[in-house]
Amino acid sequence: MAEHIKITECPRDAMQGLYDFVPTNVKTEYINLLLQVGFDSIDFGSFVSPNAIPQMRDTAEVLSKLDLDNTRSKLLAIIANYRGAEDAVVHPEIHYLGYPFSISETFQLRNTNTTIEQAFDNVKRINELCAANNKNLLIYLSMGFGNPYGDEWDTEIVQYWAQKMIDEGIGYIALSDTIGIATPEQITSLYPALTKLSEITEFGVHLHSTPDTWQEKVAAAYESGCKKFDAALKGYGGCPMAKDELTGNIATENLIAYLLHQNINMGLNLDKLSEAMDYSGKVFG
* Span 224-247, pLDDT tens digits: 999 999 999 999 987 665 556 668
pLDDT value of residue 45: 98
**Nearest residue to 231 via CA among 249, 246, 256:** 249
Please state, in angstroms and rounded to a whole number, the distance separating the CA atoms of residues 211 and 240. 16
Q: Which residues contact 54 (CB under 8 A, 6 or more apart)?
A: 21
Q: Residue 274: is its pLDDT beyond 60?
A: yes
- Residue 269 in domain: yes
- Is residue 233 within 8 Å of 249, Cβ to Cβ? no
Tell me if 1 is assigned to some domain: no
pTM of the model: 0.96
Closest CA to 245 of 148, 179, 147: 179
With respect to residue 113, please indicate whether it lies within any of the assigned structural domains: yes
Question: How many domains is the chain partitioned into structurally?
Answer: 1
Q: What pLDDT does 1 receive?
A: 40
pLDDT, position 84: 98
Asked if the structure places residue 105 within a domain, the reply is yes
Mean of pLDDT values over 206-227? 96
Average pLDDT, whole number, for the chain?
A: 95
Chain centroid offset of residue 280 CA: 19
What pLDDT, on the 0 to 100 scale, is given for residue 105? 96
Render pLDDT for 147-179 as a digit per residue (tens, 0 to 9). Answer: 999 999 999 999 999 999 999 999 999 999 989
Q: Residues, the chain, total?
A: 285
Task: Return the closest-CA partner of residue 48 out of 104, 106, 99.
Answer: 99
The domain spanning residue 170 has which CATH number? Answer: 3.20.20.70
Do residues 201 and 170 make contact, with C-beta atoms less than 8 angstroms apart?
yes
Asked if residue 255 is part of any domain, the answer here is: yes
Residue 66's domain comprises 6-284
Asked if the model's pLDDT at residue 131 lies above 50, the reply is yes
In-domain check, residue 20: yes
Is residue 228 in a domain? Answer: yes
Q: Where residue 265 falls among pLDDT bands split at 50, 70, 90?
A: confident
3-52: pLDDT as tens digits: 689 999 999 999 998 999 999 999 999 999 999 999 999 999 999 999 99
pLDDT at 2: 44
pLDDT at residue 285, as a whole number: 84
Q: What is the mean pLDDT of residues 129-147?
A: 97
